[in-house]
Each structure stands twice: as C-alpha cells, then as structure tokens.
Structure 1
Amino acid sequence: MGARSKARKRALDMLYIADVRQAPLDEVLREEADRAAAQPQRSSSWPYAEEIVRGVIENGSAIDRLIEEHAVGWTLARMPAVDRAILRVATWELVHNAEVPDAVAIAEAVEFATVLSTDDSSSFVNGVLGAIAQSLHRAS
C-alpha cells in the first residue's frame, strides 16, 4: 500500500473513531498527532492523513451536504459509520485536492468499502462519489 493509500486509511480511521466515540474530530486528530510523533516509522502517511482530517474539519458541513444531496434516499445517520467516514475522505479529495484524479479517489474509497464495510457498500460508495464527481464537473 502506497503512502497516500495509508494516509487515506489513517484519515478514515480517525473519522470513524470520532464518529463512533461521538468525540470531536479535532480531539481525535490531536491524539493521533501524539501517536504519530511517537511512531516515526509511520511518518510517511501522517502529513496527508492530517491534511485530509483538517480539511474535513474545516469543510465538514459542506461535505456532508454534498454526500446527502447525492445519496438518494439515504441520510448520513442511516449509513454505516465506516461508509460515512469513507465518503467524507473521498468527497474532501474530490472537492479540495485537485492533485488527486477523481478516478483514484473513487477507486480507493470503493476498495475501502469492499474490505471494511457491507456487501452493498462498495456499489453505494461508488454511486454517491460518481454522482458528486459528475456534479462538480458540471459546475465548473
């Protein structure tokens, strides 16, 4: 797994932990920053994971609105926590990181959903993110 993939997984873990614990995301980020400082062998994935999580903190409301807009028939509250985290990471990348091609952000998210979530999650995540990407390209 490449450094960016590891960073996405690390960001996904932080978002998931905050959601499940119902803890502030910035608190979980601080805890992970302490852990990162104590584990230099994992340092290659830390800067991008931190960038993603900070981006989700700063743009969380807009990201959640985009997800709910494109998750036809689903609210964030009805989604499994891991799917929410996956969608938030990938939506941040689609909207706020032009360096990452849409196809890469979506493929990584689908892979995480396949490995970490329900049998239906990968197609659901793919559909939501595809719709978001398409709407962003129409808007530009």
Structure 2
Amino acid sequence: MSARTKARKRALDMLFQADVRNESLAAIVAAEAKRAAGEPDRAASWLYAREIVDGVVDHQDEIDELISSYAQGWTIERMPNVDRAVLRLASWEMLYNPEVPPAVAIDEAIELAKLYSTDDSARFVNGVLGKISQHAE
C-alpha cells in the first residue's frame, strides 16, 4: 500500500471520528499527531493525511456545497458518515491538489467506500465525484 493510500485512510479516519464524535477536527488531529510522533513508520503517511484534513477544513463550505449540488436526492447531513468523509477527502484532492489526477482521487475514494461503507456507497461516491470532476475541469 502506498504512503498516499495510507494517508487517505488516516485522513478518512480523522474526518469520520470528528463527525461521529462531534469533536473538533483540531482535537482529533492533535491526538493523531501525538500518536504519529511515537510511531516513526507512520511519518510517511502522516504529513499528507494532515494536508488533506487541513485542506478539507479550509475549504469545507465550498466542498460541501458542491457535494450537495451533485448528490441527487441526498443532503450532506443525510449521507452516511463514511460516504460524507470520503466525498470531502476526494473532492479536496480533485479541486485543490493539482498533484493528484482526478481519476486517481476517484479510484482511491471508491476503494475506501467499498472497504468501509455500504454496498451501494461505491456507486454513489463514483457518481458524485464524477460530476465534481467535470465541474473542476
């Protein structure tokens, strides 16, 4: 598994935790930073995970607006927590990280949805991110 794939999973974990626990992302990130400092093998994925989370926080209003506009029949609040976190993560990568090709961001998001969410989530995530990718062009 690549360092970026691990970083995406860590970012997903942090976004999900903050959402489910109704805690600030700052508190979750601080706890993860402390944990990463004690585990040198996590250093490679930590920096990019932190970049993703910080980026989602910085652009959450715009990201959520796009997700809401393309998620037909779903409000952001009604989505499963994992799907919401995956969509935010991949949307940030497509919109604000030019180093990541949109196809890679979408493929990685689909894999996360398959692993951690419902049977229908991968298709839903793919559809929403496909539309966001077209918007970003």
The answer for the alignment partner of 1:11 in structure 2 is 11
| Structural mapping, 1:2-41, within 5 Å | 2-41=2-41
The alignment's TM-score, normalised by the length of structure 2, stands at 0.98
Alpha-carbon distance, 1:40 to partner: 1.0
Q: Structure 2 CA distance, aligned partners of 1:32 and 1:62?
A: 26
Separation of aligned partners in 1, 2:63 and 2:38: 31
| Aligned match of 1:96 | 96
Provide, for residues 26-56 of structure 1, a one-character-per-residue CA deviation record: whole Å limited to 9, x for no partner: 1111111111111111111001000000101
Normalising by structure 1, we get a TM-score of 0.96
Matched residues in 2 for 1:135 and 1:41: separation? 37
List gaps (5 residues or longer) in structure 2: none
Give the AA of the match of 1:121: S
Q: Could you list the runs of 4 or more consecutive aligned residues of structure 1 that deviate by over 4 angstroms after TM superposition?
A: none
Question: Secondary structure of the residue that 2:77 maps to in structure 1?
Answer: helix
Q: Residues of 1 paired with 2:67 and 2:45: CA distance? A: 26
| CA deviation profile, 1:74-129 (whole Å, cap 9, x unmatched) | 01111110001100100000100011000000000001111111010000000000
Task: Give the equivalent residue in structure 2 for 1:83.
Answer: 83
Gaps of 5+ in 1: none
**How far, CA to CA, are the matches of 1:41 and 1:133 in structure 2?**
33
Secondary structure at the counterpart of residue 77 of structure 1: coil
**1:14 Cα offset (Å):** 0.2
SS of 1:7's equivalent in the other structure is helix
Quote the sequence identity (%).
58
Asked if structure 2 preserves the Cα contact closer than 8 Å seen for 1:26 and 1:57, the reply is no
Shift of 1:135: 1.2
- How far apart are the structure 2 equivalents of 1:19 and 1:110? 20
| 2:12 partner amino acid | L
- Aligned residues between the structures: 137
